[in-house]
Amino acid sequence: MVIVFNPTAGGRRHRHLLAALDALRARAIDVVVLETRRAGDATGLARDAAARGESVVVAAGGDGTIAEVAEGIAGSATRLGILPLGTANVLARELDLPLRMEAAAAVLATGGTARLHPGLARFADGRRRLFVQMLGAGFDAAVVQALDLGLKRRIGRGAYVWQTLRALPRYGFADCSVTIDDEVLRARGVIVTKGRLYAGHYLLAPEARWDAPGFQVALLQDVGRFGTLLAGIALPLNLLPRLPGLILRPARRVALDGATLPVQMDGDPAGCLPVEVVDASAPIAVIVPSGVRFTDHAGPKDAPACPIPIP
């Protein structure tokens, strides 16, 4: 078993990883740990492991690390394992994975296999990149892009709240064009999601399915500063799907276009619009707790900075 470990959160992540390693080795499972040093490393390390015929590659990190590992093993018979060491751990919650390391390690040793259907983003500059949970364009992406990573390491989710409050007074809330299959709409913010949850365990798209092709698209129409503040109140109450001005639509293909609007994918900066979102060419086998039901359906370049000044 190969574990691709993102150590950027410092000592806390190392301690949790050691707990998982102890639990795996107690089950006589041989483990090799490979550490990433920069964005994109996880994809290359996972791709090399899959090419060697490794049966399981584990992403030890957050949703962004999971997406990179998924990209590396895509098209192979290698299964994706997850040790949730991120800030929000959205995909882990979608898959009903335990967040305690000893329990997460037990799932790696004894769990079943499901099929995860990633999304594929195709950018105008030629980049192609998988995502396992969501792609967002607009204000949430601007917050992600300007986030102080040092502050994130120190206070976790609180860094997102702080950056939101800093950026909100100056953000322009420009419209973008959203083509959902053959329908063209306008929105000030868009989230194309594979899962039901957003920013942790908060409900966004009740009909979304990680184990099936297609997406749910959340469109924020006519939502400015007040609407964003209202969304912040609705989020912890799990009332986000009822937010005035929010529309949810199913989709198989989504095209987003808007002058230099920022994009985030699985919580990491991903450049700017325009972008087209489609299903990845094949699902990925992912290790899940035994008993999880699913529907049986048959390397990224560094993202350019988006030229939107966010304080």
Let me know if 149 is exposed, middle or buried by CB neighbors in 10 A (0-12, 13-18, 19+): exposed
pLDDT on residue 241: 79
pLDDT digit string (tens) for 104-143? Answer: 999 999 999 999 999 999 999 999 999 999 999 998 888 8
Amino acid type, 128: R
Cα dihedral 156, 218, 233, 196 in deg (nearest 10): -60
The highest-confidence range among 1-10, 125-134, 145-154, 223-232, by mean pLDDT, is 125-134
Query: For the whole model, what pTM was predicted?
Result: 0.89
Neighbours of 83 (CB within 10 A): 30
What does the pLDDT average to over 203-224? 92
Q: Which domains are delineated in the chain?
A: 2-110 (3.40.50.10330), 119-280 (2.60.200.40)
Taking only the tens place, the pLDDT of each residue in 65-93 is 999 999 999 999 999 999 999 989 999 99
Strands of the sheet containing 254-257, edge to edge, are 128-131, 119-123, 275-279, 254-257, 176-180, 183-187
Task: Let me know: does 275 contact 135? Beta carbons within 8 Å.
Answer: yes
Radius of gyration of the chain (CA): 19
Do the beta carbons of residue 115 and residue 286 sit within 8 Å?
Answer: yes
Name beta bridge partners: 197: 203
DSSP the chain: -EEEE--TTTHHHHHHHHHHHHHHHHTT---EEEE--STTHHHHHHHHHHHTT-SEEEEEESHHHHHHHHHHHTTSSPEEEEEE-SSS-HHHHHTT--SSHHHHHHHHHH-EEEEE--EEEEETTS-EEEESSEEEESHHHHHHHH--HHHHHHHTTHHHHHHHHHHTTT-----EEEEETTEEEEESEEEEESSSEETTTEES-TT--TTSS-EEEEEE-S--HHHHHHHHHHTTTT-GGG-TTEEEEEES-EEEE-TT-EEEETTEEEEES-EEEEE-SS-EEEEE-TT--------PPPPPPP-----
pLDDT over 70, % of the chain: 87
- Of 136, 123, 151, nearest to 64 by C-alpha is 136
